[in-house]
Structure 1
Amino acid sequence: MSSAFLADVPPRPQAASGAFLAALAIAQMGAFLAFMPLLTILAPLKAAAIDPGGKALILAQVGFWGALVAGGANILAGALSDGTHSRFGRRRPWLIVGAVGTAASCLVIMRAHTAFGLVGGVLLFQLCLNLMFGPLVALLADQVPPAQRGRAAGFIGLAPPAGAMTGALLVGVALPQEGVRYAVVAGLLLAAMVPVLFLARETPTGPRIFRLARPHRLGTRRPFRLTRDFAVAWLSRLLIQAGITIVSLFTLFNIQDRGAPPGGLAPEALLGLLVIGSSLVQIAASLAGGFLSDHLRRRKAFVLAAGVLVAAAATLLAFSADWRLMAGAFAIFGAGYGIFTAVDAALITEVLPSDRDAGRDLGVSNLANTLPQMFAPVLGAALLQTAAGYAWLYLAAGLAAASGGLLILAIRRAR
């Protein structure tokens, strides 16, 4: 094999084209279009249909085991793509395998009629989604130079709100038939991955179609080295993401348990409208946060602001019984979520322990996204058993988000 295929240190990325940044954002939107409706609407609805009285416990099992698989799969996918040799590059083969598997797993979830079947379908979904998502995130570090990462992350930060908004509109409002919902989600995911597969400037890493590095070569790769700033950024992301996950995961149950929604809307339709409004705010905040953080060359102040905004929204939800105040809280939540997704993604690439193993290290950083999906459902199921269940639940979310925002100030390598 040519020595060019065995270079330890990847070349410094050149300026990324607008077309590639758009393709990267679209691919991320497809991933979130598959994931967000599953988290906020499809899995809660399926849990409630399987056992209305035990829906919170079923959702806790789905969240815990799904997140456990997601965290491991994301690290594995990053490491495997780092060591992949193919004529199509390191990341592209895994993007294809993960996207096709994720689309197929939607059918498995749709056909689940027991708690065991639902958990199994979600495990397959999380495995395949993260086999795709790990290499997709690594493309930001591979192909976008640091000076462009704020605006790139701003566009990528459009993915959660755009995915959530489209998913809420289709799944919660426009498509009442269950089979059509899942089919549309799977089809849009596959379509969204096509542009980045063609536009990614992946250098061939071997003459064959596909081959993993030999086990002994993987064993000689530099071991993961935990640095202080990476640890701080990781814990900050974990705490803010915990607040975001709690708010996102239990809103449908909150609407169901409040009584009849205004205007005779179905609970999932009202949630869809709230998510759409929040997502519009999130899109504007994501773009503004990404561009401003590049222009000012500062990231930490924006992450702090994001944590405070998410905390304010959660606190408002904890003490508000009015539907209009709930809508206002979701607008504030969207602003904090948008700033966070844009700027935190750029900041984490600036404190990675190793440029050579960016896929693996970003997989480790993604644990801060998946771990809250493990403990948030368990915490929520426990707190909902108390007399002031939703109040305590949202206060816990606010405390976590505010703590994560303040913690980011301890980073030294980034401003």
Structure 2
Amino acid sequence: MPAPPASPSGQDAASPATGERRSTAFLLVYGLAYAGGVIAYMPLLSLFLPIKVEEIAGDARLGLFTACIVAGSIASSASNILFGWLSDRSVARGGGRRRWVTGGMVALALSYAFVAAAASPLAIILAIIFFQTAVNAALAPLIAIMADEVPDAQKGTVGGLLSLGYPTAALLSASLVGADFLTEPMRLAIVMAAILACLAPLLAIPARRVADETPRPAIHAMLRRDLMIAWAARILVQIAGAVLSLYLLYYFESFFDTPPPRIAAWVGHLFTLAYLVPVPAAILIGRLSDRIDRRKPFLFAAAAVAALGLVGMAIANDWMQGAVAFGLYAVGSATFLALHSAFAMQLLPDPQHRGRDLGLLNLTNTLPSLLGPLLTWLLATPRDFGAAMLALAALALCGGVTILAVRGRR
């Protein structure tokens, strides 16, 4: 059945469709759009910001960087819930979510300009607050589109496709950092162009929601309880992800006596390789979990692999051991997070509040960005991350155990 045309009140408006499967082309277009969402934040937070903070603060970089991340995480948490709720209201009134994604991208372009212009500790903290607000104005409705428009029977496959976002963003990051002739504003402009290229195909497709079915009260209560369990499990695993995505450059600096920009380029290539390797496994496991309708065993196994990689990083004696261990962590973490996205969307108790509930679920991404830097500040030094890595390994394994307590889905 062809997709319904866009409503005059908004290109994203749509009435629920039947539960037929979506085309492979649409699933790929959504995966590309999600990659654009990852590109929106990963290059800046993982590589550009650490370099800029080091230029501003020098030896005091850990303190200023932590302040940027904590302030930005608070802004991210609040704005994701807000814009998810606003997109819910837009859908209920006959509008849609795609307009919010578009508005978020406009604000994101402005925030990049503020980041590039920042030259003092206060200025960079304020710029990151604005950036986090803008990026979540686009990401909150973008994630809700998956819940609205992808049937449950295909969410595992799409979850696997989401894992493509990280290597894509990492490859772009490494390429830009390694290009010495590019200025910071030029790098950010290229990032913005890549985001637009990734998101434009999805924004051009009118929405077609899958059929909504409000669960019975007893099932509604079980799903809400299960969603909280899944929420807690993801937080425990994501704390490690928050630390490594932000502090990996500093971790490898403990093994090198090389200028930070050169290490940043090398770390960017490591990000690319480490996040590219898990993609086939994540897609295969996602499809397999769709076919057998079981996700919990795969989630537990993935968390255990991530924890093993973190132990390896803690005991590494040189950069090669650290890189191999990080690769093992990345395989487990990327598979867990991709599959968890599909699993959690099946636990949403109310179709009318998907954007809001996914905003609350997004706290599993932002709260770790508060807890992780604080844990790193307490346990790590610029030359020793061992204790911090062991603590993260324990938390990741606890996350894998926690997900087994979900009862409403397998």
Alpha-carbon offset, residue 11 of structure 1: 5.6
The percent identity for this pair of structures is 33
Q: In structure 1, how many angstroms separate the alpha carbons of the residues matched to 2:367 and 2:32?
A: 25
Change (3 A) 1:304 1:85: closer
Pick the aligned partner of 2:349 from 343, 353, 366: 353
Counterpart of 2:391?
Answer: 396
Change (3 A) 1:160 1:318: same
- Is residue 2:316 matched to residue 1:320? yes
Within-5 A mapping of 1:78-93: 78-84=84-90, 89-93=95-99
Which one of the candidate residues 248, 267, 283 is aligned to 2:263?
267
Query: Structure 2: how far apart are the matches of 1:389 and 1:325?
Result: 15
Q: Note the alpha carbon deviations across 1:53-99, whole angstroms, 9 max, x for none.
A: 11111111111111111111111111100101699831011010001
Scaled by the length of structure 2, the TM-score of the pair is 0.88
Cα distance between partner residues in 1 of 2:358 and 2:261: 41
SS in 1 for 2:351: coil
- Distance in 1 separating the partners of 2:18 and 2:129: 36
The corresponding residue for 1:408 is 403
Output the CA distance in 2 between the equivalents of 1:385 and 1:156: 33
Q: 1:358-373 to 2 correspondence within 5 Å?
A: 358-373=354-369
**Counterpart in the other structure of 1:217:** none
CA 87–348 in structure 1, closer or farther in 2 if over 3 Å, else same: closer
Matched, 1:286 2:282: yes
Give the total of aligned pairs. Answer: 389
Kept in 2, the 8 Å contact 1:317–1:394? The answer is yes
2:54 to 48, 57, 70: 48
Alignment of 1:18-167 (within 5 A): 18-84=24-90, 89-167=95-173
Distance 2:83 2:222 in 1: 19
- Change beyond 3 A, Cα 1:53–1:260: closer
The structural deviation recorded for 1:126 is 0.8
CA RMSD of aligned residues (A): 2.7
Residue 245 (str. 1) matches residue 242 (str. 2): yes
How far the C-alpha of 1:258 sits from its partner, in A, is 2.3
Q: Which secondary structure state, in structure 1, belongs to the residue aligned with residue 277 of structure 2?
A: helix
Superposed displacement of residue 265, structure 1: 8.5
Given the alignment, which residue of 334, 339, 346 partners 2:335?
339
**What residue in structure 2 maps to residue 220 of structure 1?**
none
What per-residue deviation string (whole Å, max 9, x for no partner) do you get for residues 144-177 of structure 1? 1111111011112321232223223333567653
Using the size of structure 1 for normalisation, the TM-score is 0.87
SS in structure 2 opposite 1:357? helix
Asked if the contact 2:17/2:208 (under 8 Å) is kept, the reply is no
User: Tell me, what secondary structure is at the counterpart of 2:118?
Assistant: coil
SS of the residue aligned with 1:90?
coil
1:276 corresponds to 2:260: no
Contact 2:164 2:276 in 1 (8 A): no
Q: Which amino acid aligns with 2:321?
A: L
Structure 2: gaps of 5 or more residues: 1-6, 210-220
